[in-house]
């Protein structure tokens, strides 16, 4: 019996196939060998997606098919780049663990009015807001917060969206995030709060401790580092999360989307938060395929190209959208 391939072997083979694919179209024999390799082990598709994602970050990535007009997809990114061209490297916030805000980041003035300043981001924009006490807030795409400082507390209300709070220590004034009638308080911590549409509010703590309560006098739930909590009612319970899961959850701080087994349909919905370019999936079976890898959040076209190659699909441009359909089968057992 042949030995089971190790993950390292599969990753190396995926890198080799990615290099061959980037050099140009495969011969018919090469294409058959590639498809046979993909079908040989269920781990190989995820490995190839990861390798392709790294390749697609390069500026030398090829255009999306013969009928693809890259200008239509690059224009929004270029306009954002020009808008933030004056941002210096020193203004990027470096987080413990090496993650750094890297796309469309702008620093706001530190003198925010105590009466309440509303800070917001547009779709596809990430904004770093330094606060006057030395704390910072990193706002994800389509996010709004209100900042109201007083002598007794440092209060931020998350109105919608997703934000990461890096709180400077102040023993005399707790830092409080209000969201949907709940209060998240800390003296010093690093944590993410997400409020999206009808989904439960989600809290992820990766540094320090955050206390969650319904009011200033109510007993709270203490969330320590590497703990996540969905604010969904009486049954809510904190759950521990591993360092790798924390990294995936916070990949947006680097302008990335990280997937680990989510369906293609779920991945397309995640990309829709960052771009006006929508990914349409015309094949229900394709929409259910699992996706693994790290991708640029503002590049739905590049993501679609990687998906098309891995899952034997076809990519087309339809208006301002990218359409994925399943390709013709390549013989028995093909996907």
pLDDT in tens, 92-108: 232 322 333 333 444 44
Domains of the chain: 9-76+255-326 (3.55.50.30), 104-248 (2.60.120.1440)
Per-residue pLDDT at 218: 63
* Window from 47-51, 131-135, 226-230, 250-254 with minimum mean pLDDT: 47-51
Residue 171's pLDDT is what? 86
What mean pLDDT do residues 216-234 have? 83
Degrees to nearest 5, angle at CA 278 with 272 and 279: 100
């Amino acid at each position: 019996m042949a030995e089971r391939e190790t993950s390292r072997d599969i990753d190396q083979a995926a890198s080799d196939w990615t290099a061959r694919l980037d050099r140009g179209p495969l011969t018919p024999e090469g294409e058959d060998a590639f498809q046979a390799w993909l079908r040989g082990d269920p781990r190989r598709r995820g490995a190839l997606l990861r390798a392709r994602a790294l390749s697609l970050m390069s500026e030398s990535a090829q255009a999306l098919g013969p009928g693809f007009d890259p200008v239509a997809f690059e224009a929004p990114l270029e306009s954002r780049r020009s808008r933030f061209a004056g941002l210096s490297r020193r203004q990027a916030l470096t987080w413990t663990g090496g993650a750094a805000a890297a796309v469309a980041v702008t620093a706001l003035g530190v003198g925010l009015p105590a009466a309440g300043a509303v800070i917001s981001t547009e779709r596809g924009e990430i904004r770093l807001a330094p606060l006057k006490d030395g704390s910072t807030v990193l706002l994800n795409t389509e996010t709004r917060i209100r900042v109201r400082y007083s002598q007794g507390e440092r209060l931020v209300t998350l109105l919608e969206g997703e934000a990461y709070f890096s709180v400077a220590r102040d023993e005399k004034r707790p830092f409080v995030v209000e969201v949907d009638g709940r209060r998240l308080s800390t003296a010093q911590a690093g944590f993410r709060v997400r409020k999206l549409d009808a989904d439960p509010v989600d809290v992820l703590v990766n540094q320090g401790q955050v206390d969650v309560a319904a009011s200033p006098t109510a007993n709270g739930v203490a969330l320590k580092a590497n703990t996540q909590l969905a604010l969904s009612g009486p049954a809510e319970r904190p759950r521990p999360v591993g360092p790798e899961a924390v990294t995936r959850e916070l990949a947006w701080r680097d302008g990335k989307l990280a997937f680990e087994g989510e369906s293609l349909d779920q991945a397309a919905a995640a990309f829709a938060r960052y771009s006006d370019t929508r990914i349409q999936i015309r094949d229900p079976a394709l929409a259910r395929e699992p996706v693994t890898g790290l991708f640029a959040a503002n590049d739905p076209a590049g993501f679609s190209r990687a998906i098309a190659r891995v899952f034997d699909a076809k990519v087309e441009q339809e208006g301002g959208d990218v359409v994925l359909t399943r390709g013709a089968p390549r013989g028995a057992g093909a996907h």
